Structure 1
Amino acid sequence: MLRDLSRPIETGMPTYPGDPDVTLAPDATHGADGYATSRFRTGTHAGTHVDAPRHTLPEGEAIDERDVGEFAFDARLVDLRPLEQREAIAPEALPDPGAIDDDVDLLLLRTGWASHWGSDRYRDHPYLTAATAERCRAADVGVGLDAFGPDPTPTARGDTESPASDGDEPDGTPAHDVLLGDSLPIVENLCGLDDLPTRFRLYAFPLRLRGGDGSPVRAAAEWDD
């Protein structure tokens, strides 16, 4: 069975605060030109996407420097629900490295935050502590998430609906840095995670962007019925 786990790319879709807006609009049309083409403007981290090490590490690998086979993952689902807004996910929430099968190379973390896509609350997703990212590194596994990313996302200025940081949230991108520093994959803004089996194959092939720091993907899970 195959299931699409990616967000549709469309004008006005949610983006990480400060990232470019996404626009997808007609250019040529059947009526005027006899064929159709479109203008497409996006950031490299819009929608469902993968991060390259260069995303947070200046000397890290670019997306086109990775072999295409590195984006086909043996994944294990970890259901973390229920979680609170901006809750720090501790190392003990993830499997012990010794309990992860050797063939697993990505943990797909189901936080439940996919249900908030399109609302301000989506920014207030739970996040990994640096120690939790270190646990992933010890197990030699990357992460996939149904959220903007493994680090906290800033709230919008003037947003009174989202809870402010309590002062304990980390600065910068420590979880990204730990994972990408070992070239471990990060797949973000996944959806459709309900009823997935514990083990499956995840495909998240990026565009071959020269020197790219990340890329949108069409993510899909595959498993036997």
Structure 2
Amino acid sequence: MIDISLPLQNRMITYPGDAHYEEYPYKTHEKDHVHITRVLMETHSGTHFDAPFHMLPDGKKASEIPLDQFQGRASVVYCSGAEIREEDIPSRHESIVLFKTKNSEKYSEHFDTGFTYIGLGAAKKLVADGCKLVGIDYMSVEKFNSPEPVVHKTLLRADVIIMEGLYLKDVQPGEYNFMCLPLRMSEDGAPCRAVLY
């Protein structure tokens, strides 16, 4: 089993403008005879999924998405360019497509605005192909500073779940079983633990 989730920790990478993840001891063995950690985070911290409601006021909320949409056969596809284009998508692939890019080398404390992203043509192709979940190995599928989140909206309008913040550095391209269990949150998305096997 391959864990493709980012560890949640202080100083982890955060999309510009989002709140930073924070954790600290709330109770300690020395003072309270137990250890409890307090966590402050967003629904889009670390490895997470975007529900349609994240971008669409009338879109499905996280609580309305069945868990079986988060599991199944997956294709891990490697793309070396700055933009994932329609021609980068194999003619045959599973209903879950995870893009491995040079982004997996960029996880650090500092956000890299030049990350590889999914182009609009590729997003439309993934919808036309009947994908149920699309993931990428950085904090957004959208080009940084895009005037409109057209890729998000193209996928989410078709009820294609978006996963961001995957860690695919040590994963070889190919076919896998995929399983992801998001926290049971009700609104725009949730942090996830995702694995391949």
Give the TM interval when normalised to the shorter protein: over 0.9
- Pick the aligned partner of 1:213 from 173, 188, 191: 188
Tell me if the contact between 1:50 and 1:204 (Cα under 8 Å) persists in the aligned partners.
Answer: no
SS at match of 2:139: coil
Aligned length: 196
1:176-222 Cα distance to aligned partner (Å, 9 max, x none): 11111111121111114434351111112111112x20111111111
1:106 aligns with 2:106: no
Which residue is 1:139 aligned to?
A: 129
Which residue is 1:186 aligned to?
A: 162
SS at match of 2:154: helix
Query: Which amino acid in structure 1 is aligned with residue 152 of structure 2?
Result: H
1:154-174 Cα distance to aligned partner (Å, 9 max, x none): 4xxxxxxxxxxxxxxx42211
- Pick the aligned partner of 1:198 from 162, 168, 174: 174
Query: Which amino acid in structure 1 is aligned with residue 151 of structure 2?
Result: A
Which residue is 1:25 aligned to?
A: 24
SS at match of 2:126: helix
Structure 2 gaps, min length 5: none
Structure 1 gaps, min length 5: 155-169
Structure 2 counterparts to residues 22-171 of structure 1, below 5 A: 22-81=21-80, 83=81, 87-96=82-91, 99-100=92-93, 104-118=94-108, 120=110, 122-141=112-131, 142-154=133-145, 170-171=146-147
1:61-100 Cα distance to aligned partner (Å, 9 max, x none): 111111122211310011112x2xxx2322111123xx33
Residue 119 of structure 1: CA displacement? 5.2
Distance 2:173 2:11 in 1: 32
Farther-moved stretch of structure 1 (127-136 vs 187-196): 187-196
Farther-moved stretch of structure 1 (21-30 vs 72-81): 72-81
For the aligned residues, what is the CA RMSD? 1.5
Q: Percent identity?
A: 29
SS at match of 1:178: helix
User: Relative to total residues, which structure has the larger strand share, 1 or 2?
Assistant: 2
Tell me if the contact between 1:24 and 1:40 (Cα under 8 Å) persists in the aligned partners.
Answer: yes
Distance 1:88 1:137 in 2: 17
Which residue is 1:14 aligned to?
A: 13
Q: Using structure 2 for the length normalisation, give the TM-score.
A: 0.93
1:1-47 Cα distance to aligned partner (Å, 9 max, x none): x0111111011211111111110110011111111111100011111
Distance 2:193 2:111 in 1: 24
Which residue is 1:160 aligned to?
A: none
Tell me if the contact between 1:114 and 1:189 (Cα under 8 Å) persists in the aligned partners.
Answer: no
